[in-house]
Amino acid sequence: MDLGAYIQIEALESVAEANGIHVSRLRGYRLMRDQKAYTNDELTEGEKYARMHAYEQVLSSAPPFSLNPQCYGRNDKVRRREKKYLIKDSSGHTVGFRINLLHGKRRKAVKYEVKRFVRMQRTQMSIWNRYAGREDVLYIHARLGSWNWSGVQWRDYKKEVWFLDGCDDIYDPSYCDIYARIDPATAPCEAGEHSDYNAGEA
């Protein structure tokens, strides 16, 4: 969840209202004019983080090493797998995977998940960069990702006249990012803080 966007709901709800934007399960707003684009170094770091996340996820999926799992879990078996396969630094952060211990379908599953998560990370960050700094775009954070249980997803808003783009959140796909076109004149005059967006911020 993007807490930075959450705390701006009250301040920016009038902007959404003025532009006819109504999104269910709303979790936050940001004016993209106040946001910075990711640097190349940040993009590279984001992809690295996505790889480490994929390593952890493939071990906690149910069943383990499955492709496109629908659920994940934490138990003693998962912890034993992590101890066997994950390479961690002195702070306990994942920095690698002992892929040489795997063969066949399991090895392919790890490579597939890494490729999938990196692709999702690139998508989320590139969409952010596409609109960062624009005066006419409102960022909307909502609990409308592919894994939410409401029966409504961000894709259901594609036909709205204000809709520009959207994607699932890579680290919690029950959440999503939606980008909406607004009339800049409806936004507050004072500029907000230039705060960097952190996908999956908790």
**pLDDT tens, 138-165?**
999 999 998 888 889 999 999 999 999 9
What is the DSSP annotation of 28-78?
EEEEGGG-PPPPHHHHHHHHHHHHHHHHHHHHHBSSTT-SS-S-B--SHHH
pLDDT (tens digit, 9 = 90+) per residue, 24-50? Answer: 999 999 999 999 999 999 999 999 999
Are 28 and 141 within 8 A, CB to CB? yes
Quote the tokens at residue 136.
């006419």
Q: Enter the pTM of the model.
A: 0.86
Which among 64, 7, 8 has a CA at the least distance from the CA of 31? 8
Q: What is the pLDDT of residue 195?
A: 45
**Cα(34)–Cα(61) distance, rounded to whole angstroms?**
38
Angle between helices 40-60 and 104-131 (to 10 degrees): 140
**Residues paired with residue 177 on neighbouring β-strands, in sequence order:** 141, 167
Give the pLDDT confidence of 96-143 residue by residue, as tens digits: 999 999 999 999 999 999 999 999 999 999 999 999 999 999 999 999
Q: Which residues of 88-127 are buried (b: 16+ CB within 10 A; e: fewer)?
A: eeeeeebeebeeeebeeebeebbebbbebbbebbeebbeb
- Domain spans in the chain, listed from the N-terminal domain onward: 3-36+132-186, 40-122
Beta bridge partners of 72: 61
Provide the total of helices (H) and of strands (E) in the chain, helices listed first: 5, 6
